[in-house]
Structure 1
Amino acid sequence: MSAGTPTTVVRQGRRRANGALEGEVLTALQRAEGPLTPREVQGRLAGELTYSTVVTILSRLHAKEVLTRTPRGRAYAYAPVTDDCGLAARRMHKVLDGRPDREAVLTRFVTELTAVDEALLRQLLAVGGR
C-alpha cells in the first residue's frame, strides 16, 4: 500500500474508506437526541460494523476533538462538539492555522469565491463589526 492511500473496511462486499466510516458515525451522533455509547452507535449504522470498529472510530473522532465523551456505566457516551456547519468551520480554521502565510491563503480563498458568496462574506464581516 502506498503512502496516502486510504485504508478501507470491507463488509458484505462493500468497501468504505475510513473517512466515510467516520462520516457515518458522526451523522448518527448528530441525529441523536443526546450522547450515545458505542453499542448504541453500532445499532444506528447500516451494515455490520463490529463493536471494536465502532469504538476505534469513536476514539479517533474524540482524539480529533470532534466528539466529547462522558462515562456511562462501563463505556463512554459520545456527542459531537458542534453541528455540521460548526465542524466545517473548525476544519477551515485548522487548515488556515496549518499554513505559514495566512494572508496568501485568505487572499486565494476570497478571489475564488462566487459573486454570491463574496457578497455574503462582505455582509457577514460588516455585521460582525470587522
Structure 2
Amino acid sequence: MRRLGELEAAVMDVLWSAPGPLTVRGVLGLLAREPELAYTTVMTVLDNLHRKDVVTRERVGRAWAYRPALAREEFDAEAMASVLESAADRGATLMRFIGKIPPEELAQLRALMDEDRR
C-alpha cells in the first residue's frame, strides 16, 4: 500500500470525518486550506484515490460521491504492515518501532496483546 501525499491525506481526513459519501464540491467545502483549492484539483485527487482503491464512488445525479474504502484504523494498519513487509530485517524494524512508542502506549499495546491471547 502506498503512502498518501499531503493533499491526498487532507482529502481522506475530510472523507473519514464525514457521516456519509461526499461529492467533489462537498469535499472542497470542508477542506480548510488557504488559498482555496480549485474544484478540478480536488476532482483529480479523488479520481487518483479511486484508481488506487483508497476510495469508492457512486453516482449521485450527475456527480460522483466518494467514501473511504477502509476505515481510518484499517488503512493505517495496512500502511504499517506494508512498511514492515518491505523491511530487510523485520525484527530489527519492529524493535526500532517499539522503541519509539511512548511508555503509556506501549502498556496499552501489551494489554491489547494479552487480551488477544485469551
Which of the five TM-score ranges fits, normalised by the shorter chain?
Answer: 0.7 to 0.9
Asked if 1:105 is matched to 2:93, the reply is yes
- CA RMSD in angstroms comes to 2.5
In structure 1, stretches of 5+ residues that fail to align are: 1-17
Q: What are the within-5 Å matches in structure 2 for residues 1-130 of structure 1?
A: 19-46=5-32, 47-129=35-117
Deviation at 1:70, TM superposition (A): 2.0
Q: Aligned letter for 1:70?
A: E
The range that moved more, 35-44 or 19-28, is 19-28
Distance 1:127 1:27, change over 3 A: same
TM-score by length of structure 2 reads: 0.74
Deviation at 1:78, TM superposition (A): 0.7
How far apart in 2 are the matches of 1:42 and 1:23?
Answer: 14
Deviation at 1:86, TM superposition (A): 3.3
Paired positions, count: 113
How far apart in 1 are the matches of 2:5 and 2:43?
Answer: 15
Q: Which has the higher helix share?
A: 2
- Counting aligned pairs with the same residue, the percent is 43
How far apart in 2 are the matches of 1:76 and 1:108?
Answer: 42
